C-alpha cells in the first residue's frame, strides 16, 4: 500500500469551480481556476476530479488509490499531473 502525502492537498477556498467536463459512475471532473499554485499568486486553469455525493466507500478508496499512484509518478508531459 502506498503512503499518503498531504503535500498534494490544495485548499478548497483557493478554487473556483466551473462547469462539468465529464462524469463517470462514481465521480465527475469539473473545470476550475486555482489561485496561488506554486510561488506566484496567479490564476491557473485546472481540472478537479471529485466523487459524487452518492459514492460508496469502495469508490472512495478507488479514487484515493488513483491519487496515491499519480502522486508517486511525479510530473510527466503525457500524464495528467496533480496540483
pLDDT digits (tens, 9 = 90+) for 7-34: 778 889 999 999 999 998 778 999 999 9
Q: Residue 14: what are its φ and ψ, rounded to 5°?
A: -105, 15
Report the pLDDT value the prediction gives residue 56, as an integer from 0 to 100.
Answer: 87
1: helix, coil or strand?
A: coil
Q: Output the known binding site.
A: 49
| pTM of the full structure | 0.72
Q: Output the known binding site for ATP.
A: 49
Asked whether residue 23 is assigned to any structural domain, the reply reads: yes
Asked whether residue 81 is assigned to any structural domain, the reply reads: no
Asked whether residue 43 is assigned to any structural domain, the reply reads: yes
Asked whether residue 83 is assigned to any structural domain, the reply reads: no
Instruction: Say yes or no to pLDDT of 74 above 90.
Output: no
Q: Is-contact 20 28, C-beta < 8 A?
A: yes
Asked whether residue 1 is assigned to any structural domain, the reply reads: no
CATH number of the domain encompassing residue 15: 3.30.200.20
Give the domain extent around 63: 6-73
Asked whether residue 34 is assigned to any structural domain, the reply reads: yes
Residue by residue, DSSP assigns 29-81 as EEEEEEES-TTS--EEEEEEEEE-TT--HHHHHHHHHHHHHHHHH---TTSPP
Asked whether residue 25 is assigned to any structural domain, the reply reads: yes
Structural domain count, the chain: 1
Amino acid at each position: 500500500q502506498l503512503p499518503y502525502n498531504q503535500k498534494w492537498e490544495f485548499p478548497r477556498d483557493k478554487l473556483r469551480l466551473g462547469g462539468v467536463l465529464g462524469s463517470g459512475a462514481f465521480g465527475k471532473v469539473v473545470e476550475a481556476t486555482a489561485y496561488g499554485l506554486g510561488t506566484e499568486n496567479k490564476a491557473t486553469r485546472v481540472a478537479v476530479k471529485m466523487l459524487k455525493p452518492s459514492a460508496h466507500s469502495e469508490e472512495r478508496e478507488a479514487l484515493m488509490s488513483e491519487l496515491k499512484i499519480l502522486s508517486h509518478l511525479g510530473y510527466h508531459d503525457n500524464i495528467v499531473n496533480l496540483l
